[in-house]
Amino acid sequence: MTKFVILLTIAITFSCSFAGILGPDLQKAMQGDESEFAVMISFTEDVKVGDIMEYYSGMSKEEIFDILKNECEQKQTFIKDLCQRMQLEGYVKDIKVFWLANAVSLTAKREAIEELVMQPEVHLISLDAIQSMIQPFGSLDSAQVPWGLEYIKSREVNAKGFTGQGVTVAVVDTGLDTDHPAFSPQQIRTDLCKSFVPGEPTVEDGNGHGTHCAGTVASQLYGVAPGASLIGVKVLSATGSGSWTAVMEGVQYSALHADVISMSLGGRANPNGNVVEDAVENAIDNGIVVVIAAGNEGPFMQTIGTPGCVKKAITVGAIDNKGELAYFSSRGVSVYLDPKPDMVAPGVDVLSAWKNGGTNTISGTSMATPHVAGLVALMLSKAKGMKPQGVKNILMATTNGTKKENWYGEGTVQCDLAMSKVGTDLGTLEVISERNQNSSTVKIEAVTDSNGKLSVIKTMPANRRALVQRVFCNARYTNFQLSVNGKNGWEKGVGEVEPRTNYDLGQQIVTEKGEVTFKVEAENGPKNSKVKIMISCRHNKLPAEVAPAPQQRVAALARSRTIFFSGRTDREGNLNITQDIVLNSNRLILDMQCNAAYDEYQVTINGEAVWEKPVAELDARTFYPIQKSVNSGSITIKVEGKNGPKNNAKVKFWFRSQ
């Protein structure tokens, strides 16, 4: 099994203040001569399906995903705009935006990475390294029959009429031989099969690994669930390699179209996590069962790969035909200290379909995983509405139970026992997603009057400071007003407040420890109806409680195409910072941007006022044209503003050599 990306930190190109934003793989890569790097960017604010579902009931999978897309889109707006700007200037290319996890991937030059690492929205920039399938092992014995089907008793269940009918399984792998005779006509959803591998536009499998896994899931000759539909999702090339970006695209696509996702791929896990793990968790929280190979890093302990280390995923190890753990099967615990794998299944000398209409007998946890994915399809064909955690509960409670070490999980899956429990209370348990420790949401429920008017006050304890950021409603209103501790937080006096839309408060409202009171008033909402309002708060990166002296001089990244400097406003929110830099060539200063809004803003270069906004407010994160030529040598830039936030101030000037 080749290694997936591990999350990173840098100390060579950037100051130590950015350590933890970049990771060791990228740091190592940037020590070489390469001029550009494929990277994955994750954001400081997570977007969790579990949080969305906590406040909305009765919504469909599609509706939940729509809200998730909207949340990610809003949180990514600034970085996406910044990347598109850098793309026009030739510093960035291949931008891809994700929504199943709050992430963006792109190929960036060094200067662009220097720019991105300074953005407060960016949590981590990791190398989008080459990945591969979990490499199988050659046959130990030439299997003539798929012994695994008999071992887990899937054929007994098939004989009773449960074949996975009505269930769709996405196999995220090297593709699928869509013309293979082992599959029945119309079983493969060719209309949904898709490739995310550059240079390989069709889903056809040039490797064989994906076809082998799909054959164990649902083929007529070798499959656990021969009545299930299959979607081939190609994220790995004919050589078995790919990228995090392709895997993310494949998981995201599968979540929209499948009931079950089978992933026989993975890499070395890191306790800091990665965006694919976030995507897998969001898919599971929205009702998709995800089955993942544990990895082939045995016999060593604590070798569970990623994304198989996701706690809510069904992680599968491999056994041989005697019920003994395969020597190569990865052992627990996971990097998060969770018991893994969850269970084991046949994974040694497994006969199944292969590319070009052939067959092959190979070994690996890759081969064990589709046995369990097929069993999940059988379970869902009996009770389509089962939740992923309910499915997992049944599987873990109905193994043969002969092995209890972390090596085996709960034991070997048994189709007949699992199917006997489908529909019982055992399958109704759910796990609520763990909440982000850096953010929280206040839920206010109320009932409108006969005219659709809303007026509600909610007072609650606060055990820590919070920055009140956004408001979100489940109904349409006019004349909406939110106040926080008696201060106006946000209002929309004329236009309508749209349902299921996040509205930023647009100003820094910080609540202190102790008690906080929210008041919401609105008109023309639904009449005599129970309504919900969500108020999002952040607990990290808050404004400082006491501001230091207002004027500071700090070091510049003068070698970059961006002049970046920072300081602190005073107690009244006034900004006055000065920067001395040395330019090695004549430059044209194109634009200016700052991270907060101010009044009476002025920029001075070498004593000359080059730009000012005396009355109207300067908006945060908006590019303002400067168009000022400066000669090489030492220059002094001074920035002044009034009525800004009482916190850190950051200012950037974009420039180009002349």
- Model confidence over 552-581: pLDDT tens digits? 332 233 333 556 566 667 777 788 888 777
CATH superfamily placement of domain 16-128: Peptidase S8 propeptide/proteinase inhibitor I9 (3.30.70.80)
pLDDT band at 282 (very low <50, low <70, confident <90, very high): very high
Please state the rounded mean pLDDT for residues 233-261: 96
How high is the pLDDT of residue 262? 99
How high is the pLDDT of residue 53? 79
pLDDT band at 433 (very low <50, low <70, confident <90, very high): very low
Domain with CATH 2.60.120.230 in the chain: 439-538
**Correct CATH for 562-657 of 2.60.120, 3.30.70, 3.30.870, 2.60.40:** 2.60.120
Question: Whole-angstrom Cα distance, residue 396 to residue 422?
Answer: 13
How high is the pLDDT of residue 507? 60
Place of tokens 């050589």: 239
pLDDT band at 424 (very low <50, low <70, confident <90, very high): low
pLDDT band at 493 (very low <50, low <70, confident <90, very high): low
Please state the rounded mean pLDDT for residues 574-589: 76
What is the Rg, in whole angstroms, of the alpha carbon atoms belonging to the chain?
28
Please state the rounded mean pLDDT for residues 22-48: 87
User: For this structure, is 209 an active site residue?
Assistant: yes
What's the burial of 591, exposed, middle or buried (CB within 10 Å: 0-12/13-18/19+)? Answer: middle
Helices 209-218 and 365-382 meet at what angle, rounded to 10? 30
Instruction: Pick from 231-245, 413-427, 553-567, 635-649 the range whose average pLDDT is largest.
Output: 231-245
Domain with CATH 3.30.70.80 in the chain: 16-128
Domain with CATH 3.40.50.200 in the chain: 137-428
**Distance, C-alpha 72 to centroid of its chain:** 9
Which listed residue (25, 46, 128, 173) is catalytic?
A: 173
Please state the rounded mean pLDDT for residues 502-507: 70
- Evaluate whether 597 touches 619 at the Cβ level (below 8 Å): yes
Please state the rounded mean pLDDT for residues 362-376: 98
Which listed residue (209, 212, 257, 371) is catalytic?
A: 209
pLDDT exceeds 90 at position 388 = yes
How high is the pLDDT of residue 564? 57
User: For this structure, is 173 an active site residue?
Assistant: yes
> Which range has the worst mean pLDDT, 12-26, 176-190, 369-383?
12-26
Please state the rounded mean pLDDT for residues 264-289: 91
- pLDDT per residue as tens digits for the range 106-165: 999 999 998 898 888 888 898 887 666 766 666 545 556 689 999 999 999 999 999 999
pLDDT band at 428 (very low <50, low <70, confident <90, very high): very low
Q: What is the mean pLDDT of the chain?
A: 82
pLDDT exceeds 90 at position 485 = no
613/304: higher pLDDT: 304
Distance (Å) of CA 619 to CA 82, 419, 638: 16, 60, 18
How high is the pLDDT of residue 548? 33
Question: Whole-angstrom Cα distance, residue 426 to residue 657?
Answer: 67
Comparing CA positions, the residue from 155, 387, 393 lying closest to residue 260 is 387
pLDDT band at 19 (very low <50, low <70, confident <90, very high): very low
- Evaluate whether 558 touches 565 at the Cβ level (below 8 Å): no
pLDDT exceeds 50 at position 13 = no
Element (H, E) at 634: strand 633-642
- pLDDT per residue as tens digits for the range 630-646: 887 778 888 888 887 76
pLDDT exceeds 80 at position 28 = yes
Question: Whole-angstrom Cα distance, residue 598 to residue 506?
Answer: 12
Strand spans (E) along 174-259: 194-195, 229-234, 241-243
- pLDDT per residue as tens digits for the range 506-553: 666 777 776 778 888 888 888 877 778 888 777 665 554 433 333 333
Does CATH number 3.40.50.200 belong to domain 137-428? yes
pLDDT exceeds 50 at position 366 = yes
What's the burial of 281, exposed, middle or buried (CB within 10 Å: 0-12/13-18/19+)? Answer: buried
475/199: higher pLDDT: 199
Which listed residue (229, 243, 334, 366) is catalytic?
A: 366
303/505: higher pLDDT: 303
pLDDT exceeds 60 at position 73 = yes
Residues 6+ apart with CB under 8 A from 433: 48, 49, 50, 51, 53, 54, 281, 285
pLDDT band at 627 (very low <50, low <70, confident <90, very high): confident
What's the burial of 559, exposed, middle or buried (CB within 10 Å: 0-12/13-18/19+)? Answer: exposed
Comparing CA positions, the residue from 225, 398, 369, 391 lying closest to residue 308 is 369
How high is the pLDDT of residue 1? 35
pLDDT over 70 percentage in the chain: 80
Please state the rounded mean pLDDT for residues 88-105: 96
Q: Are strands 229-234 and 194-195 parallel, antiparallel or unpaired?
A: parallel
CATH for 439-538?
Answer: 2.60.120.230
> What 8-state DSSP symbol labels residue 18?
G
